[in-house]
Structure 1
Amino acid sequence: MARREPGQLEQAVLGIVASFGPDVAVPVAQVQARLPGSPAYTTVMTTMARLADKGALTRIRDGRAYRYRLSAPTGSIDDAMAARRMRQLLSDGADRAGVLARFVAELDPDEERLLADLLRREAGR
């Protein structure tokens, strides 16, 4: 199943959040104020919550509301979203060992080496 590309509103939101800098958590109202076409606050809020659920944004509680920042550098957002989806698939109650074994079995040799290198690097931390 192919992942859909972010829509225009999602792309605009990501661009605005990115414009504040990598470590700045932005409230929905500030993003809404910069969006063209004056979308409703609830539309922007829902879009940002969905981007957080997808792994593109990190949600930070601020009183009764949330602030959002990029979950990864701009060029790595797609990677963060793919990693979140992979994690969700592993958590769906399936046989995790079986799913991981099947995943590894379907890797080509270069991908296997890359995965082994990444696992070694993580184990060394």
Structure 2
Amino acid sequence: MREFGRLEAAIMDCVWDLGRPVSVRDVLTELQKSRDIAYTTVMTVMDTLHTKGWLRRWMEGRAYSYEAVASREAYTARLMRGALATSNNQAAAFVHFLAELTPSEAEALRQALKIVPQG
């Protein structure tokens, strides 16, 4: 799985951060706080994210409303699985990954493993 492009990531961050169905105008307003960007650019990228399956949309009045199909955490997990799949030796890659965890990341992993069903 490919990582989002820079603008795709910024748009998805807005959608995730707002945590509700959004319009292109909602996202544009958020993005314009930190950059100069056109409505049509945001609309085109949101349409692309919809086509790629990252956003669902429906018509409300004369404009689409969008929401994320998956959480930010699910996206991150897909990236991690994709990266792991590129290795010839997944066990070794995983060991290297674990060796580089910070203490707080290691603790978060320990806590997560407590809730994952064994099977």
Q: TM above 0.5, one fold?
A: yes
Q: SS at the partner of 1:26?
A: coil
Q: Paired residue for 1:42?
A: 40
After TM superposition, give the deviation of residue 4 of structure 1 in Å.
3.9
| Alignment match, 1:6 | 4
- In the alignment, what sits opposite 2:56? 58
Could you say which residue in structure 2 is the equivalent of 1:99?
none
Q: Which residue of 2 aligns with 1:17?
A: 15
- SS state of the match for residue 44, structure 2? helix
Superposed CA RMSD: 1.8
Mark the CA change 1:79 to 1:58 in structure 2 (over 3 Å): closer, same or farther. farther
Q: TM-score, normalised by structure 2?
A: 0.58
Give the drift of 1:28.
0.5
Report the CA distance between 1:17 and its aligned residue.
0.4
Shift of 1:68: 0.8
Q: Distance in 1 between matches of 2:42 and 2:29?
A: 10
Percent identity over paired residues: 41
Change (3 A) 1:44 1:74: same
Shift of 1:37: 1.4
Aligned length: 76
Corresponding position of 1:75: 73
Query: Any stretches of 5+ residues in structure 1 without a counterpart?
Result: 81-125
For structure 2, the 5+ residue unaligned runs are 79-119
Q: TM-score, normalised by structure 1?
A: 0.55
Q: CA deviation at 1:67?
A: 1.1
Could you tell me which amino acid in structure 1 is paired with residue 16 of structure 2? Answer: A
